[in-house]
Chains A and B, each alone.
Chain A
Amino acid sequence: MNNEKKLDSSDPELKPSRTAPAVAVKFVSVEKRPDFLEELPPPIIEMTPPVLRYRTRRDFLLFGVGAMAAMAGGGFLLPHETLSRIGVRRSVNSPAREWFLNRALRIDDDVAEALYSENRRVPTYTKSQISPLKNNYNGASPDPGYISEWKLTIEGLDSGLSVVLDIRSLMSQFSVCEQITRLVCVEGWSAIAWWAGLRFDDLLRAYSPMSQAKWARVESSVNLDASGNPDPYFMSLDLATAQHPQTLLVTHLNGQPLTVEHGAPLRLLVPVKLGLKNVKAITKITYSVEEPSDYWAERGYSRYDGI
């Protein structure tokens, strides 16, 4: 008896089912908690007109402020060529914009560095997957005459001396590695090519950089600009990337010695970086503690370029 009373008061579902079954069943089914995925009816609320007006005004003001901030942001970040096309005039030089975009770029570089793993190999391909590799550099190709006198100078060594090597001593001193990897250009195209050469890591072991060196400046002094004038190409490479087992100093492309267009007699192949880091016709490598300058970073591109 006592037990039954308790049930009646604590469980409303039981009570109506006994007294008025037909109506109660309907009522219970409406009150039932809907399925987790089931859409709930939108809540209807009551507001007094002043409160509604106040909230509406507040939200529209916020919206207007946001819209103006977005337009100001666009005016600040967009290049003057784009803005002049929609009739907005702004001074050509904007150091603040450059500073801001470079800050954002450094964040992205830090993300790239955090993603990098020295143990992670890039995918390799088979010879049937090799695709044509174009010479994408818009400068003139140097006269092949430089190849016979070519020498590689290495500076910033632990010994304090600089080392000069010719191609024959390089090729006889180090074992040859081969790999078929993808080269990805900053422009968005890519090509799979078969490379052969020595490991950068082997060179680092044979001629160790000065202690605390974290960077290499890889340079080509034979590089020419579009009108054929000397335009030295230089690029920063972190030593962690240089030590990667797939970072090569390449002498052969697709089974043939490198042509002038592809950087004879020695070019850098660093598949974990964008193509613009893969310096052709290297003439000098300088190790340093501080980050060296970079040809494309000076022209507004990332300096890390890790892919």
Chain B
Amino acid sequence: MNYSICSPADKPRTTSTSLEQPGVLVVKKHHPLVRWSHWLNVPILLGLILSGISIYWASPVYQHRPDPKTGNFDVAADVGIWICAHVPGLHQYGNPPDWIYNHISLGPGMLALALRLHWLCAYLFMLNGAVYVSGLILGGGWRSLLPRWTDFFDALKMLRYYLGFPFAKLIHRKWMHPHFNTKYNALQRAAYFSVPVGGFFSVATGWALHKPMQFHWLAALFGGFDTARVWHFWLMWLFILFVVPHVILVLADGWDTLRSMIVGWSTRVKRPEFTAK
């Protein structure tokens, strides 16, 4: 019932019988709205992170007493100075305290522009989140993301698989992927469930920072204005820490998985017992 939205794809079945060509079995994986919002997140999140770190520059969350020699108080500037002192080839870098801001933000000293871009991207991010949730509801995909009681032990199985994988490869031993009768394994589900939740909290802390007086109850919920900034900062790291293994594992999993987020279907029809009625 819930997959009736995918009906356009059912049409070819009639053509297949009329042309008497052998059909290809494919599994429906992602609703179009889910796919669009997934890819739209790439430029939007990039814009939010780049402008966000430029905003961070204006008043760093992590500060220390000004250095007596340089007057620097920003931990991110310290990291830049350390990188320029220790990474080969960077000793000649013109402005080490700005290294971080020159490489993972729009740049230092552009608060006004960064704020405008951040708010623009933030509105787009909220709209995109609504598109994503609509896609989950229309396609019924939200059920695959829900945590379940078996997740803890299944996650341990997956961790064991990932940790043992390199060693098994080294000694040319067969290393079986644990079998799950679900769309995602427990680790994937934990990641795909927590990222939208993290997105929700990013938006909530964002509003608490943007309107700390009109939404003072929201700021209070996160421990006040200053603490909401800390939450907002670390929620950004949730996205970054998600994206890195996400991209690596998708590439490792193969072309079919990457393609399924563009076209919506997969040719990995694993379970013949689930063939359409």
Residues of chain A at the chain B interface (Cβ within 8 Å): 37-52, 55-56, 59-60, 63, 66-67, 70, 73-74, 77-79, 81-82, 85, 101-102, 104-105, 107-108, 112, 115-117, 120, 122-123, 182, 184-190, 271-272, 296, 299-302, 306-307
Contact = CB atoms under 8 A, between A and B. Distances in A.
Contact of A105 (B19, B106, B119): B119
Chain B at the A interface: SS class: helix
B102 A122 contact: no
Nearest to B267: A52
A48 B211 contact: no
Given A51-B12, A189-B59, A45 B115 contact: no
B157 interface: no
A85 B107 contact: yes
Interface in B208-235: 209-216, 220, 225-226, 229
B214 A48 contact: no
Top-10 shortest CB links A-B:
A300-B112, A46-B23, A188-B59, A41-B274, A187-B58, A187-B59, A51-B12, A70-B43, A43-B3, A59-B263
Given A37-B146, A44-B276, A182 B214 contact: no
A166 to B, nearest CB: 32
A302 B114 CA distance: 12
A283 B15 CA distance: 81
Contacts of A39: 143-144, 146, 182-183
Contacts of B2: 40
Nearest to B107: A81
Given A44-B275, A185-B59, A79 B110 contact: yes
Contact of B225 (A67, A73, A182, A300): A182
Contacts, number: 183
B25 A44 contact: yes
Contacts of A48: 12, 15-16, 19, 21-24
B231 to A, nearest CB: 13
B116 interface: yes
Interface of B: 2-3, 6, 9-10, 12-13, 15-16, 19, 21-29, 39-40, 42-43, 46-47, 50, 55-56, 58-59, 61, 102-103, 106-107, 110-113, 115-117, 119-120, 123, 140, 143-144, 146, 182-183, 209-216, 220, 225-226, 229, 259, 262-265, 269, 271, 274-276
Contact of A46 (B25, B58, B106): B25
B264 A59 contact: yes
Contacts of B111: 186-187
A49 B102 CA distance: 49
- Chain A's interface: helix, strand, loop or mixed, by majority? mixed
Contacts of A306: 211, 214
Contacts of A81: 106-107, 110
Given A46-B12, A300-B113, A82 B50 contact: yes
Contacts of A302: 115
Contacts of A38: 143
A35 to B, nearest CB: 10
Contacts of B102: 85
Contacts of B46: 74
Nearest to A246: B213
A46 B16 contact: yes
Given A47-B9, A47-B26, A188-B58, 6 more contacts: A46-B23, A47-B13, A70-B42, A79-B107, A104-B119, A188-B209
Given A60-B262, A188-B55, A47 B110 contact: no
Given A101-B116, A306-B214, A45 B56 contact: no
Nearest to B122: A108
A74 B143 contact: no
B226 A190 contact: yes
Contacts of B16: 46-48
A108 B119 contact: yes
Contacts of A42: 27-29, 183, 274
Contact of A47 (B24, B103, B107): B24
A85 B144 CA distance: 42
B225 A184 contact: yes
A60 to B, nearest CB: 6
Contacts of B12: 45-48, 51-52
B211 A112 contact: yes
A69 B253 CA distance: 28
Contacts of A296: 112
Contact of A63 (B112, B209, B210, B262): B262
A43 B43 contact: no
Nearest to A53: B24
16 contacts: A39-B183, A40-B140, A45-B25, A48-B19, A48-B23, A59-B263, A66-B39, A78-B50, A79-B107, A101-B120, A104-B116, A104-B123, A112-B211, A188-B209, A190-B225, A272-B214
Contacts of B216: 122-123
A302 B112 CA distance: 8
